[in-house]
A and B are shown apart, each in its own frame.
Chain A
Amino acid sequence: MKLRDFILRRVLLAIPVIFGVLTITWFLSYVVGDPLAMFITERTNPAAIPGIIQDHGFNEPLVIQYFLYLRTLLAGDWGVSYSTGGDLPVLTVIARKFPATIELAIVAMVFAVILGVPLGILSATRKDKPIDHFTRVFSLAGVSMPIFWFALLLKYVLFYQFSVWGLPYLPSGDRVDNELWKTVLHNGVGYDFTSSITGFVLVDSLLYGQPILFGDAVLHLIMPGFCLGYLTLAIITRMMRSSMLEVMKEDYITLARSKGLTERIVIYRHALRNALIPTVTVIGLAFGGLMSGAVLTETIFNWPGLGRWATQAILVSDMAAINGFVLLVAFIFVSANLIVDLTYGALDPRIRYG
C-alpha cells in the first residue's frame, strides 16, 4: 500500500512544477517576446491571420491569453516552425526528431553510468593512490570541459587525423552513412523519418535484420555519445567517489566490519547500496545537462535531433521551435527526475515509507 502512495505523491508533486514551467514559457513567449511570431510566418496565408489572432486571443487581456495558451498547448497546437524547410507544426517536428536525441542521450547516459560508477568506487577505495589521482583529474576535466570544443577536438583527432595517418577512423558526423543505407535497403532515401520504424536507429537496423547497418549506427554513435556523456560521466564519478567516501565513514560500515565481513563485501554490499542513493539523484539531474549538451553536440556532429533543430531555429529566430523545445526539455527533465525519485524510493527504504 505504501509504495503506491509514495508514487502517487511524487506524481502529484510534479504537477505544480509543470504548471510553473508552462507559466514561465508563457511569460517568455507571450509577455516578453512576440507571440505572433509563433503562429504566423512569411508563408502564412494573409487571409488566415485574423483567424489565428482570434483563436489565440492575441487581442484579449493577458489573463485570458494565458488560459488560451494552455488550451492550445493541450490541443497539440505548439505553433509553426519555419526553420525546417517548409512550415511544419512544432509537434510534428518534435515527433520526427525526438528519437534521435533520446537515443543519443541514452547512449551517453549508458556510457556515463557504466564507466562512472566503477571509476568512482575505484577512486574511493584506492584513495590517494595513483588511480585516484587519475580519476579525479579525469572527472575534473569532464566538468570543466567546454563540450562543444571537446566535440571539435574529438572530431579533429578521431576523424581527420586518424584518416590522415591511415588509421581506421570514426565518421565525422550524421546518424548513419546514408549511401550505405540506400544500397543496403534499396529504398532510395536511406534512413530518414519515412524509412524508420521506431525512430531509434540501433533498433531499426536490427529490425531490418542488417548487422552492417547496426555496426554503422554504432560507429556513428561513438563520438557524439562519448562527447555528450563525458560531463555526466564526470559528475557521476565525482558523486560516487564522494558519497562512497562518506558512507565508508558511517557507523554501519564499522558494524559490518565488526561482523568479520571481508573488505570486498563491506564495500560492494554494504557501502555501495548506500552510496548509490545520492548518485542516482545526480543521474536524474544530469539528464538536464544531457539535454543542454545535446544542443551543442548535435550541432557539431550534424545529428538530426532536437538540439540541432533548436540551434537552427535560433539562427533564424524561429520562436515556436524554441518554445516547443524548451517546453519539451522541461517535461523530459521533470519526468526524468520523477523516475529518479521512484528509483530512489526503491533503493532507500527510509524514503519509501517516510
Chain B
Amino acid sequence: MTVRGDNGNDQGEQESIVVPGLVHRVFPSLHIVLCLAAISLGAAYLVGNFVAWFANSFMHELGFQLPSLLIGWPLQALLLVVIGYMNLKSGRAISRGDAWAYSSSLYMNAVTGVILLTIGPLGLLPAVGVFALVLALFAPSVKSYWYREFREDMGPRGKELRFSFHLLRRSPLVIVGILIVAGYISVAFLAPWITPYGPEERIWNDANLAPGTPAGEAKANSLILFSNYSADISIYPEYTRGEVQVGPEEVTTSLPPIIAFSGYVRDTGNDNLTNVLVHTAVYKLNLTTFDSLSPSLRELYLVKSVEKAMLSRPNIEVNNSPSTYVWVVWFVASNKTVPWIVDTVVTLDYNRYYPIHYWGTDNSGGDIYSRIIWAAQVDLRVSLSVVLVALASGALIGAASGYFGGKLDEMVMRITDIFFAFPGLILAMAIVMALGTRNLENISYALMITWWPVYARVVRGQVLSEREKLYVEAARSIGASDSRILLSHIIPNTIQPLIVQATMDTGGVLLTAAGLSFIGFGSAAGTAEWGLMISQGQYYLLNYPWECMFPGVAILMIALALNLVGDGIRDILDPKLRRRG
C-alpha cells in the first residue's frame, strides 16, 4: 500500500485504502497490553509514593522500607494513569477498526513513552514497548490507515512551520539564544570530561585563589588500588597491612606516580574521639620480612604518625618500574573499649599536573570553573523537570477544564486564582518549609506545585478559542471521542504558546530555584549549585569578588538566552507580526 500524493488526495476520495494485515491484528492487542502496563505502573507508583510517605511519617520506628523501585514522581504517575486510560480507549477503538484512533494514539503514545522514560527504572521496559508501537504506526499497512487524516491535520501546520523556520533563520538574537542554551546543555553533559575537578572536590590549600592562578597543589588522576572498609582490629597494638601491585600503564607517565594511603579509625563503642596514635606507611617491602621484624624495628619504617583518629595521607613516590608495594597501619591507643574499625583506602595518583583555576577558587578551595560546570547539571535538571512536570499536569488540567467547561472549569479556575495569589518564590518557600527537609528535591516539588497553574491558564484559554472553531467542524468528526479531539486537534494547536511559555519559564524557574537556594533552602553546603555558590561567595564579596560573580554570570547568561529564545519564538509565532515584509 502506498501513500498517495497531494493530487491523489484531491480527486479520488472514495478509494479504499488497506487490506488488514498481520500488524493490524497484533497491533491493537499489543497496544492495549502496553496501555494496561502503563496504567498499572502509574498506579503502582502512586500507591508506592503514598505508602512511602505514610511509612516515613508514621511508621518510622518499625523500620519499614519500601523498595525504592516503586517510588517515582507522583505527578508523573498520575499523568501516566490518565494518559494511559485515554490511550486505552483509543486502543479499543483501533481494535474496532476506527481509523481516527491511529493518529490520536500516535500523539498519546509519544507522551506515554516520554513519561515512562522519566519516571524511574521500572518505566524503561514499557517505554521501549511503547516506542516500538509508535514505530509500528509507521508500518506501511498501518500508516495508510491514518496517514491521510494525519496529513490533513498537519498539512497547513507544516507550511506554517517552514515559514517559522525561515523567520527563525533571520532573527540572529534567537539563534544566539539557542546556541547558548545548546552550549549549556552540552557543557552539562560533558562536565566529567571538561572539568579538572569534581563538583564537591576541594583543595584546602588553594582557597581564595584569583582567577587564572595555577593550582598550588597538584591534581592527579587516581586509581583506587585497594579499599577495605571496616576492617576489625581487636588486638592491641596492632597493624593492618596489605599488598598492591602498580602496573606498567600507571608507571609510564610523565611524572612519577604517587601512592597515597588514607585510613580512618573509629572506636565503635565510643562516640567521643579516642586518642589513637596511628602510624601509616606505604613502601616497597617484602611482607614476610616485615612480619618477622620486631615492633620497634617496624616502627622505623613508618614514615608518618598522626594523633587521634583521623585521615592521614603519606605520599610515596613510586619507582619507574612496575612493582608491588606494601602498606601498613599501626595503632597505639590509650583507652580502648570495644572493637575498633579501620577504613583503609590505597590510591595511586598519576598524571599529576597543576591545573589553572580559570575562574579562581572559593573560600574552601573548590575550583569555581569546575563547580559552575557541574552545577549546570543540577540547575538545568531542576528547572527542566519542574517545567516539564508543571507543563504536563497544567496542560492536562487546563485542557480538561477548557474543554468540558461548566463546574469543572469554574473549580479549576478558582484554584488557579488561589495559587496566583502567592508570588511563586514565596509559596515555594512555604511548601519547602512545610515539607521539612531542605534540598533541591523539595525545591523541585515546591516549584512544580507552584507553577502548574500558569500552564493550566494558558492551555485553557487556547482550548476555549479552539473549541469555538471546532464546533464548526463538529459534524465532520462524528464518532471521535473527547480524548481524540483534545489530543489530536486541540493540544497540537495550543503547543505554540506552550512552547513560548515553557521556554521563558525555564529561565524563571531557574532564577527562583537559585533564589531559594540562595536564602538557604538548597542542598547541603558544598553542593555545586549556582545559587548556593553565590550565597557562600557573598561573604567574600569585597576581597574575592569572583566567588559570586562567575556563578551569577552563569545564571544570567542562561536565563537571558532562554528569554531571548522565548521572546523570539513568540514574535515569530505571533500571527499579527508574521506577515511583516
Besides A156-B549, A295-B426, A326-B422, 12 other CB < 8 A contacts? A140-B563, A145-B559, A146-B556, A148-B519, A150-B552, A152-B538, A288-B423, A295-B429, A317-B433, A319-B433, A330-B421, A333-B423
Given A148-B515, A152-B548, A322-B433: A141 and B560 interface contact (C-beta under 8 Å): yes
B534's closest neighbor in chain A, by CB? Answer: A149
B231 interface contact, C-beta 8 A: no
Give which listed residue, A17, A319, A323, contacts B418 with CB less than 8 A: A17
- B23 at interface (Cβ–Cβ under 8 A)? no
**Is residue B69 within 8 Å, beta carbon to beta carbon, of the partner chain?**
no
CB pair A140–B560 under 8 Å, yes or no, is: yes
Q: Which of B426, B508, B542, B562 has the most CB of A within 10 A?
A: B426
A118 in the interface, Cβ–Cβ < 8 Å?
A: no
Q: Is B429 in contact with A149, judged by CB distance below 8 angstroms?
A: no
Docked complex Cα distance between A315 and B522 (Å): 11
Question: How near does chain A come to B382, taking the closest CB pair, in angstroms?
Answer: 14
Q: Which of A24-32, A211-219, A263-271 contacts B (4 or more CB under 8 A)?
A: A24-32
B555 near A146 (CB under 8 angstroms)?
yes
For residue B418, which residue of chain A has the nearest CB? A20
Which residues of chain B from 543 to 565 have any CB-CB distance to chain A below 8 Å in the complex? 545, 548-549, 551-552, 555-556, 559-560, 562-564
Q: Is the interface of B mostly helix, strand, loop or mixed?
A: helix
In the complex, what residues of B have CB within 8 A of residue A17's CB? 414, 417-418, 421
At the interface, yes or no: B436 with Cβ under 8 Å from chain A? Answer: yes
Are B436 and A33 neighbours in the complex by a CB distance under 8 Å?
yes
- Return B530 CB to nearest CB of chain A, in Å: 8
Task: Report Cα–Cα, A333/B423, bound state, in Å.
Answer: 8
B520 within 8 Å of A by Cβ? yes
Binary contact track A272-297/B, C-beta < 8 Å → 1, others 0: 00000000000000001101100110
Residue ID in chain A nearest B510 by CB atoms = A146
Q: Indicate whether A232 reaches chain B with its CB closer than 8 angstroms.
A: no
Q: Does B431 contact A (CB under 8 A)?
A: yes
The reply to whether B430 and A326 contact each other, CB–CB distance below 8 Å, is yes
A246 at the binding interface (Cβ < 8 Å): yes
The CA of A144 and the CA of B507, in the complex, are separated in Å by 7
Q: Is A71 an interface residue (CB 8 A)?
A: no
User: Are B433's CB and A156's CB within 8 A?
Assistant: no
Report whether B520 and A140 are in contact in the complex, using a CB–CB cutoff of 8 Å: no
B433 A33 Cβ-Cβ under 8 A:
yes
B425 within 8 A of A: yes
- Specify the chain A residue showing the minimal Cβ separation from B549: A153
Interface size on A, residues (CB 8 A): 52
Query: Are B434 and A144 closer than 8 Å at their CB atoms?
Result: no
Q: Interface digits, B500-540 against A, CB 8 Å rule (1 contact, 0 not)?
A: 00000001100110110011110000000011001100100
Contacts of A148 in B (CB 8 A): 514-515, 518-519, 531, 534-535
The total of chain B residues at the interface (CB under 8 A) is 49
Is the CB of B427 closer than 8 A to any CB of chain A? yes
Question: In the complex, A20 Cα to B514 Cα: how many Å?
Answer: 28
Q: Is A126 among interface residues, defined by CB-CB distance under 8 A? A: no
Q: How far is B434's CA from A51's CA once the two chains are assembled, in angstroms?
A: 24
List of B residues within 8 angstroms of A333 by Cβ = 421-423
**B508, closest chain A residue (CB):** A143
**Which chain B residues border A246 with CB–CB below 8 Å?**
576
Q: A140-B567, A326-B426 are in contact. Are A296 and B541 (CB under 8 A)?
A: no
Which residues of chain A come closer than 8 Å to B512, judged between CB atoms? 292
Set of chain B residues within 8 Å of A296, measured between Cβ atoms: 515, 518-519
- How many angstroms from the CA of A310 to the CA of B555 in the assembled complex? 24
Tell me if A323 and B576 are in contact (CB < 8 A): no
Report Cα–Cα, A113/B514, bound state, in Å.
Answer: 27
Looking at the complex, which one of B520, B538, B551, B552 makes contact with A311 (CB distance below 8 Å)? B520
> A144-B559, A149-B552, A246-B576 in contact; A25/B430 too (CB < 8 A)?
yes
Q: Which of B422, B541, B560 contacts A288 (CB 8 A)?
A: B422
A149 engages B556 (CB within 8 Å): yes
B424 at the interface (CB under 8 A from A): yes
Given the known inter-chain contacts A28-B430, A140-B563, please indicate yes or no for A146 contacting B421, CB distance below 8 A. Answer: no
A21 beta carbon closer than 8 Å to chain B: yes
Minimum CB–CB distance from A154 to chain B (whole Å) comes to 11
Q: Does A70 contact B (CB under 8 A)?
A: no
Q: Are B426 and A325 in contact (CB under 8 A)?
A: yes
Let me know if B273 is at the binding interface, CB within 8 A. no
Residues of B contacting A160 in the complex (Cβ-Cβ under 8 angstroms)? 541-542
Cα A21 to Cα B415 with chains together (Å): 10
- Given contacts A310-B429, A322-B433, are A144 and B563 in contact (CB under 8 A)? yes
> Of A143, A300, A315, A326, which is within 8 A of B429 by CB?
A326
Q: Mark B439-458, 1 if CB is under 8 A from A, else 0.
A: 00000000000000000000
Which residue on B lies nearest to A325, using beta carbons?
Answer: B426
Please report the C-alpha to C-alpha distance between residue A152 and residue B549 in the assembled complex, in whole angstroms: 9
A24:B418 contact, CB within 8 angstroms = yes
A9-21 interface bits toward B, Cβ cutoff 8 Å, 1 = contact, 0 = none: 0000000111011
> Is A334 interfacial (CB-CB < 8 Å)?
yes
Contacts of B567 in A (CB 8 A): 140
* Residues of chain B contacted by A143 (CB below 8 angstroms): 507-508, 559, 563
Judge whether A83 is part of the interface by a CB distance below 8 angstroms. Answer: no
Which B residues are in CB contact (< 8 Å) with A319?
Answer: 433
User: Mind listing 11 A-B residue pairs with CB under 8 Å?
Assistant: A16-B414, A20-B417, A33-B434, A144-B563, A148-B518, A288-B423, A288-B426, A295-B425, A296-B518, A311-B520, A326-B429
Given that A28-B434, A152-B552 are known contacts, is A292 also in contact with B424, CB under 8 Å in the complex? Answer: yes
Kindly provide the distance from the CB of A297 to the nearest chain B CB, expressed in whole angstroms. 11
Is B408 at the interface (CB under 8 A from chain A)? no
Residue of B nearest to A327 (CB): B430
The answer to whether A314 and B521 touch (CB under 8 A), given A152-B552, A326-B429, is yes
Residues of B within 8 A of A299 (CB): 519
Q: How far is the CA of A317 from the CA of B520 in the complex (A)?
A: 11
Q: How far is the CB of A245 from chain B (nearest CB, A)?
A: 8
Residue of B423, B436, B508, B511 ringed by the most chain A CB atoms within 10 A = B423
State in angstroms the CA–CA spacing of A246 and B574 once bound together.
11
Question: In the complex, A291→B426 CA distance in Å?
Answer: 8
| Alpha-carbon gap, A255 to B512, bound state (A) | 45
CB of A329 within 8 Å of the partner chain: yes
Q: A3 CA to B422 CA in the complex, in Å?
A: 28
Q: Which 3 A-B pairs have the closest CB atoms?
A: A20-B418, A149-B552, A288-B423
Determine if A300 and B426 form an interchain contact, defined as CB atoms under 8 angstroms apart: no
Asked if B218 lies at the interface with its beta carbon under 8 angstroms from chain A, I say no
Q: Which residues of B contact A182 (CB under 8 A)?
A: none
B161 interface residue (CB < 8 Å to A): no
Q: Is A155 an interface residue (CB 8 A)?
A: yes
**Given known A146-B511, A149-B548, A296-B519, contact A329–B423 (CB-CB < 8 A):** yes
In the complex where A20-B415, A25-B430, A246-B576 touch, is A145 in contact with B556 (Cβ < 8 A)? yes
B427, B520, B559: the one within 8 Å of A146 (CB): B559
Could you tell me the distance in whole angstroms from the C-beta of A55 to the nearest C-beta in chain B?
22
Residue interface bits A25-52, CB-to-B below 8 A is 1, else 0: 1001100110000000000000000000
| CB pair A155 B519 closer than 8 Å | no
Shortest CB distance B365–A (Å): 21
Take A17-B418, A144-B563, A153-B552 as given contacts and tell me if A300 and B511 are in contact as well, using a CB distance cutoff of 8 Å.
no
A292-B515 contact, Cβ under 8 Å, with A25-B430, A145-B556: yes
Residue among B519, B541, B542, B564 making CB contact with A140, cutoff 8 Å: B564
For B557, the closest partner residue in chain A by CB is A144
Interface pair B423/A20, CB less than 8 Å apart? no
Q: Which of A127-144 contact B (CB under 8 A)?
A: 140-141, 143-144
Contact call B556/A144, Cβ cutoff below 8 A: yes
B435 at the A interface (CB under 8 A): yes
Q: How far does the alpha carbon of A310 sit from the alpha carbon of B423 in the complex, in Å?
A: 14
Bound form: Cα–Cα A28–B429 in Å: 11
A18 and B420 CA atoms in complex are apart in Å by 11
Q: Are A21 and B422 in contact (CB under 8 A)?
A: yes
A206 CB, min distance to chain B CBs, angstroms: 31
| Cβ contact within 8 Å between B421 and A21 | yes
A32→B435 contact, CB < 8 A: yes
Whether A29 contacts B434 by the Cβ 8 Å rule is yes
Q: Which of A310-353 contact B (CB under 8 A)?
A: 310-311, 314-315, 317, 319, 322-323, 325-326, 329-330, 333-334, 337
